[in-house]
Chain A
Amino acid sequence: MTTKAAAPHVDRSDPLIVPDSEHHIGMSIRGELKLFFADGETLNCADVRGMSAVRAAKEVTALPDGRPSIVVTRLMTHFHSNETGLLIQQNPSRVNVGRLSGVRKGGPEALLPGNASFDQYLMLSLRGHIYVNLDPLIMAAEGITEFPPIGVTFLSQTPTLFYDIEDLDGGITATEPKDAVARLALASQSVCGSHLTHYIDMPEQSI
């Protein structure tokens, strides 16, 4: 297996390393993340941490205003909370994509500094149930100067409803709730986000 990755020793502030790159990173939740249940229970998830992987597309496109933009695909999301038993994973049946867009006009060399935003479709495993969101959970960060943006916090300030897959017509592949009622919600009442803590080196190697 060969894994391409931007090794830690490369200049991560060089925008040209972004296209066709792939990285794995460690993350932890910063701020106040809460799970709201229908019955009134609120669960504070203070100790959530885990890792994620992102691949950047090869092609850089131009936005209507002339700024460069590149599609970034979330390959993996895996968070857990020891205190609550919450496990957060990516919903494999939905595409989790985002964009990194430069703040200046230009080609790939203007991708950094840039702003990034991801639409995330997740699976939450908790107390024997699996919940999925149908509206995307949007995570965004501005003023990214390095890639991967270690030390940056991707903020989510929008509440997101989650449905028990048992209630959804189509289970994890459902895209509409139809008659299903949401069973829990992920939200924060303060600034909250996933903070990129460290880069995981996966050196290129052949087996």
Chain B
Amino acid sequence: MRPAVLLRACTVCAIILTGIARVLVRLVSVRRSERARVVSTVVTETLVQLGPAFIKAGQLLGTRIDVLPRSVCAALARLYDGLPVAPVADAMPNLSPRLLADLDGTPVPVAAGSIAYVYRARSRDGHDWAIKVRRPGVASLIDHDLVLFGAIAATLQRLPFLRGAPLVEIATQLGEAIRQQLDLAAEADALRLLHNNLTGPGIRVPAVVDAHSGRDVLVMEYIDGLHRCPMEPAAARRAALNALHAVYRMLFLDGFVHCDLHPGNLYPMPDGSAVIVDAGFSRQLPESARRRFASFFYHMSRGDGQACADLVLSTARPGASADQTGFRSRMSELVEQSSRATVAEFNLVEFAVRLFDVQRTHGYYAEPRFVFPILSLIVLEGSLRQACPDVDFQIEAVPFVLRGLMR
């Protein structure tokens, strides 16, 4: 391990230990009923201190209202849009003279994400722009953290109960995805694709201002009203359904998937539409993977566990102890239990965990390419459970799955 990474590992340990100490100290002085809130607040603050890669992990956890207490989710929600914004002076070195010349006035800080800051500015021809600028020093910090994540994944993968789970591959691919977010030119490409694929009634994706976008700065259309406020339940429901349909379109039709639809990147609007921003963590599924994914859902909706087993077997890698018969039998059982469940009954995380468990216990190694699409649905599932708990995931998927198979 490089000295810089070792130093970072020590820093991470120190921050975590400090966080634990803060929790212990504060727990002494608060009432029992306050303890969960105190712990989650300190955890959130610690994640912010740990930096971008850890913030990403916290954002993902914060969507899981079904597995974490609401107070913890509420505290982690601050990671979506409660991060401190940076003064415009921090961004100035990255703004080209040509961009500055095109602005009418000074940019105003409006938001901060784990990787970048966002400023609002008006162009000389009267358009409102959002200017996204990378946080200073974020690239090297993420590099070090990803090495740490890889080492942690390799260690965990040696544990008996995690043997077979492709943790190292997932960590590697997640690392690639996080690194991809550092390249704002790549994000601009992703945003253009999503804008073209998804924009329509019910979904808005900001348009890229090509003339001023590059590797370090992304300039895009500014969409007003991106803040969470109490909404009419009917509008919240329509917005959640629009978002679900957009995800299905990405997964089954386009194969180009926004894998990071946490509440900081997906905004329900009072008119029932949904706005998708921050395309930094997007992935193009290979055509064969998109088709297999659609086929899996098609056969799952038909309750055909054997066909689902065939699809998984066609991509999974058999280990030395692979047991195809046992796998088929367990897979049929799983699909039968899961098919036609409403969103209230169907737990995607549980399904994914059981799917990986069935593979692992029968000697197969999952294909990591399928982890990203599942991730995008898992991230959305938390929001969907709140807005429309009665919606049937599988019924809503039908038109998209079918059209995906007809391509």
Residues of A within 8 A of B (CB): 34, 36-38, 40, 42, 135, 138, 157-159, 161, 181-185, 187, 189
Which residue on B lies nearest to A135, using beta carbons?
A: B302
Contacts of B340 in A (CB 8 A): 157
Q: Which of B302, B403, B406 has the most CB of A within 10 A?
A: B406
Closest 10 CB pairs between A and B?
A: A38-B406, A185-B402, A158-B302, A36-B402, A182-B406, A159-B398, A189-B395, A187-B398, A36-B399, A159-B402
Inter-chain contacts of A138 with B (CB < 8 A): 302
In contact, A184 and B398 (Cβ under 8 angstroms): no
Closest to A34 in B: B399
User: What string of 1s and 0s marks CB contacts (under 8 Å) between B385-407 and chain A?
Assistant: 00000000001101101110111
Contacts of B395 in A (CB 8 A): 189
Verify B302–A38 contact, CB threshold 8 A.
no
B305 sits at the interface (CB 8 A): no
From the candidates A34, A42, A185, A189, name the one contacting B406 in the complex (CB within 8 A). Answer: A185
How does the 8 Å CB contact mask read for B13-41 relative to A, with 1 for contact and 0 for none? 00000000000000000000000000000
Query: Would you list 13 pairs from A and B whose C-beta atoms are within 8 A, ordered by A residue?
Result: A34-B399, A36-B399, A38-B403, A40-B403, A135-B302, A138-B302, A159-B301, A159-B302, A159-B402, A161-B402, A183-B406, A184-B406, A189-B399
In contact, B406 and A161 (Cβ under 8 angstroms): yes
Q: How far is the CB of B149 from chain A (nearest CB, A)?
A: 40
Pairwise interchain contact B399-A181, C-beta atoms closer than 8 A: no
B residues contacting A by CB (< 8 A) are: 298, 301-304, 340, 395-396, 398-399, 401-403, 405-407
Q: Which residues of B contact A181 (CB under 8 A)?
A: 405-407
- CB < 8 Å: which of A37, A42, A158, A183 contacts B301? A158
Give the CA-CA distance A150 to B228 in the complex, in Å.
54
C-alpha gap A157/B340 in the complex (Å): 9
What's the least CB distance linking B407 to chain A, in Å? 7
Which single residue of chain B is at the shortest CB-CB distance from A184? B406
Asked whether, in the complex, the Cβ of A159 is within 8 Å of the Cβ of B298, the reply is yes
Contacts of A161 in B (CB 8 A): 298, 402, 405-406
CA distance A131 to B250 in the complex (A): 28
Say how far B40's CB is from chain A's closest CB, in angstroms: 39
A37 to B399, CA, bound (A): 9
Chain B contacts of A182 at CB under 8 A?
A: 402, 405-406
Known: A36-B399, A159-B301, A187-B399. 19 other contacts (CB 8 A): A34-B399, A37-B406, A38-B407, A42-B399, A157-B340, A158-B302, A159-B298, A159-B398, A159-B401, A161-B405, A181-B406, A181-B407, A182-B405, A185-B402, A185-B405, A185-B406, A187-B398, A187-B402, A189-B398
Contacts of A183 in B (CB 8 A): 406
The CA of A78 and the CA of B135, in the complex, are separated in Å by 67
A158 & B303 in contact (Cβ 8 Å cutoff): yes
Report the nearest B residue to A185, measured CB to CB.
Answer: B402
Contacts of A185 in B (CB 8 A): 402-403, 405-406
In the complex, what's the smallest C-beta–C-beta distance from A38 to chain B, in angstroms? 4
CB distance from B84 to the nearest CB of A (A): 45
In the complex, what residue of chain B is closest to A42 when comparing beta carbons?
B399
Least distance between B189 CB and chain A CB atoms (Å): 25
Min Cβ gap A31→B in Å is 13
Return chain B residues, CB-CB under 8 Å to A184.
Answer: 406
How far apart are the CA atoms of A138 and B304 in the complex, in Å?
12
Question: Bound state CA distance, A158 and B394, in angstroms?
Answer: 11
Cα–Cα distance between A131 and B399 once the two chains are bound (Å)? 18
Residues from chain B with a CB closer than 8 A to the CB of A34 are 399
Q: Report the minimal beta-carbon distance from B294 to chain A, rounded to whole angstroms.
A: 11
Q: A178–B200 Cα gap in the complex (Å)? A: 35
> For B399, what are the chain A residues with a Cβ–Cβ distance below 8 Å?
34, 36, 42, 187, 189
B127: min CB distance to chain A, Å: 32
CA separation between A135 and B407, bound complex, in Å? 18
Q: Within the assembled complex, what's the spacing in Å between the Cα atoms of A37 and B402?
A: 9
CB-defined contacts of B298 to chain A, threshold 8 Å: 159, 161
Q: Report whether B403 and A36 are in contact in the complex, using a CB–CB cutoff of 8 Å.
A: yes
Q: How far is the CB of B334 from chain A (nearest CB, A)?
A: 18
- Bound-state CA distance A184–B403 (Å) is 8
Specify which chain B residues have a CB less than 8 angstroms from the CB of A189 in the assembled complex: 395-396, 398-399
Q: Chain A contacts of B406 at CB under 8 A?
A: 36-38, 161, 181-185
Q: A42 contacts which chain B residues (CB < 8 A)?
A: 399
- B357 → chain A closest CB, angstroms: 26
Minimum distance in angstroms from B213 CB to a CB of chain A: 31
- Measured in the bound complex, the distance between the Cα atoms of B405 and A37 in whole Å is 11
| Complex-state Cα separation, A184 to B405, whole angstroms | 9
A150 to B104, CA, bound (A): 75
**Bound: A110/B156 CA distance, A:** 58
Shortest Cβ distance from B340 into chain A, in angstroms?
A: 7
- Give min CB distance, A63 to chain B, whole Å: 19
A158 CA to B300 CA, complexed, in Å: 10
How distant is the Cα of A42 from the Cα of B398 in the complex, in angstroms?
A: 12
- The interface residues of chain B lying within 8 Å CB-to-CB of A187 are 398-399, 402
Task: List A contacts of B407 (CB < 8 A).
Answer: 38, 181
Closest to A41 in B: B403
**Docked pose: A187 CA to B395 CA in angstroms:** 10
Closest Cβ of chain A to B343, distance in Å, is 14
Bound complex: CA A34 to CA B304 (Å): 22
What is the chain B residue whose CB lies nearest that of A189?
B395
Shortest beta-carbon distance from B288 to chain A in Å: 14
B303: shortest Cβ distance to chain A, in Å? Answer: 7
